[in-house]
Amino acid sequence: MRSVFLMRFAANLIVCGLLGLTIVWACRWIRKRDSFIGSVVQLGVVLRAWSGLLLFLISYLRLPILQSLYLGDGFWDLAPDARGYYSGAMIAAEEGLRTVPDWSASPAFVKVLGLWMRAVGISPASAVLLNVAGYLGVAVILVAVFQTGRSKAARTGLSISVLAFTF
């Protein structure tokens, strides 16, 4: 039992390390194509990561900040359904995706989060990392699509899209 836990923990660490390298690579790839867009995307990654972790820690540690707005354990009153999504994803990560019924709330999201938590580790904070990875994935797609034209209109479209998606 202990060896299975250690193997899963090691695998989660490896996946998180590879994800970190991928995030750095993607930010550099975007910055090489357009320094302004690269700066905006890097700011978006940092804002998502730090604000997500800060909000998680405030609630998880039950800090005396915004106490009326959080539920504790990393969850906030503004998203009361998050506990249900997390519970469903945790069960899916441990027991398989078949445990997520098609009639449940947001089954596709719960399955994605379950797969994600299986890869990076089971924690409410893993959703923050999923948010960062999803944001960066969309940014890479936008840069790849809009940079094919290299026209002024394409750059304007890219700038508006990335700025809107970031903020």
In Å, how far are 47, 69, 73, 80, 115 from 59, measured between CA atoms? 18, 9, 6, 13, 24
Q: What is the pLDDT of residue 50?
A: 96
- Share of residues in the chain with pLDDT > 70 (%): 98
Which pTM was predicted?
Answer: 0.88
Residue 39 structure tokens: 């700066």
Task: Give the contacts of 114 (CB within 8 A, at least 6 positions apart).
Answer: 88, 89, 90, 91, 92, 93, 97, 100
Look at residue 148 and tell me whether its pLDDT is greater than 70: no
Domain ranges (residues) in the chain: 2-166
Mean pLDDT over 143-160 rounds to 85
pLDDT digits 0-9 by tens, 46-69: 999 999 999 999 999 999 988 888
pLDDT confidence tier of residue 28, bands split at 50, 70 and 90: very high
Look at residue 12 and tell me whether its pLDDT is greater than 70: yes
